[in-house]
Amino acid sequence: MNQKKPFVTLEQVQEIVKKYPTPFHLYDEKGIRENARRIKQAFAWNPGFHEYFAVKACPNPRLLQILKEEGFGCDCSSYTELLMSEAVGQVGEDIMFSSNVTPAEDFALAAKLGAIINFDDITHIDFFEKIAPFPETMSCRYNPGGDFKIENEIMDTPQDAKYGMTRPQLTEAYRKLMSKGVKHFGLHAFLASNTVANEYYPVLARLLFQTAVELHEETGAHIAFINLSGGVGIPYRPEQNANDIMAIGEGVRKAYEEVLVPAGMGDVAIYTEMGRFVMGPYGCLVAKCLHHKHTHKEYVGLDACAANLMRPAMYGAYHHITVLGKEDAPCDHKYDVTGGLCENNDKFAIDRMLPEIDDGDYLVIHDTGAHGFAMGYNYNGKLRSAEVLLREDGTTELIRRAETPEDYFATLDVTGVFKK
């Protein structure tokens, strides 16, 4: 069976747990920085290229700070994500605000920070007008409907997505915004999630480039940037091939040269909003085996649960598991790897072939750097774990402490019942 190699060893974990008990999410600073530089290299052909990291994927200010140091901006979709971005020094057009069903206070803060606002719906234009003046640069989100296909393979179904405007609405929105004084426009679309196909971005880019040319011809609007959003995925399964970001960048460049340049639009900047590809492989959940259960199946019970990593319970998503110290042992035991929630779907793996696991063993659950800790919750009164950064020099840094019972009760303690 193919295996993934964790970025942390048993010896390192044994040292880390002396300060930070399991479970915790661990992040690899070296891997994050190296990946950020590859992304910038892949799109270096476009002078205006800018990656706006999707904050929702991993909302931790220390990690946002690292990405800022690497030249990335922030893609925000809520009031608190805007506040977090501001806290690490991201302001102005280093923030892209792409939201939906947006409260007035969110638009107001985005406008105050000078963020590029990306309208999800044409009705938001009139809504925004009551909140803040229109800046010179704004963007609109496109939903072409139908199925999104690559070589006749359906990648996703935009027609079922709640996001974005129809094609006729885009033209109307541009004209309306031009009448409000907007001078520079962006075009944005997210049409498929977690694609492990080098063709996704180039096919999406060609669609958006052609649409941008049409919009320019119809309205005379200056298209300043095209935002390919996210959707570039990672290989959660060890047998999957990873996306080649250099090939992806080259595919987008080719479409750019074939569509935009002949239309006299060779000044368009390319933006991306990747979360999973930027951070996913560079985070893991470290947990300890607490119990074994021998009934109709063989169960391994961890001190982590779905409250720490929701994707397997929510989507049936695969996350690879390494038993630290037993990387070379045969995977000859079949387990359900579970947490302690009172829900039967609280399982990190079902019928997974692994080395024999003993109580006290440390397990690494891979690829939790995006939509891992971020999707945590407090069901059953479970407390969210710490987040720890493995620095480039091998030392560790606590970048979020673990929750305490006092944290859990803080919003309930309106009468002082739980105060000590």
- Of 58, 140, 284, 342, which is the active-site residue? 342
SS (H, E, C) the chain: CCCCCCCCCHHHHHHHCCCCCCCEEEEEHHHHHHHHHHHHHHCCCCCCCEEEEEHHHCCCHHHHHHHHHCCCEEEECCHHHHHHHHHCCCCHHHEEEECCCCCHHHHHHHHHHCCEEEECCCHHHHHHHCCCCCCCEEEEEECCCCCEEECCEEEECHHHCCCCECHHHHHHHHHHHHHCCCCEEEEECCCCCCECCCCHHHHHHHHHHHHHHHHHHHHCCEEEEEECCCCECCCCCCCCCCCCHHHHHHHHHHHHHHHHHHHCCCCCEEEECCCHHHHHHHEEEEEEEEEEEECCCEEEEECCCCCCCCHHHHHCCCCCEEECCCCCCCCCEEEEEECCCCCCCCEEEEEEEECCCCCCCEEEECCCCCCCHHHCCCHHHCCCCEEEEECCCCCEEEEECCCCHHHHHHCCCCCCCCCC
Check if 76 is active-site: no
| Both structure tokens of 395 | 């030392």
- Residue at token pair 């590809």: 277
Angle at alpha carbon of residue 72, lines to 254 and 161, rounded to 5°: 70
Contact 62, 318 (CB under 8 A): no
d(CA 28, CA 138): 35
Establish how many alpha carbons lie within 13 A of residue 148's alpha carbon, considering only the half-sphere containing its beta carbon.
28
Residues with active-site annotation: 342
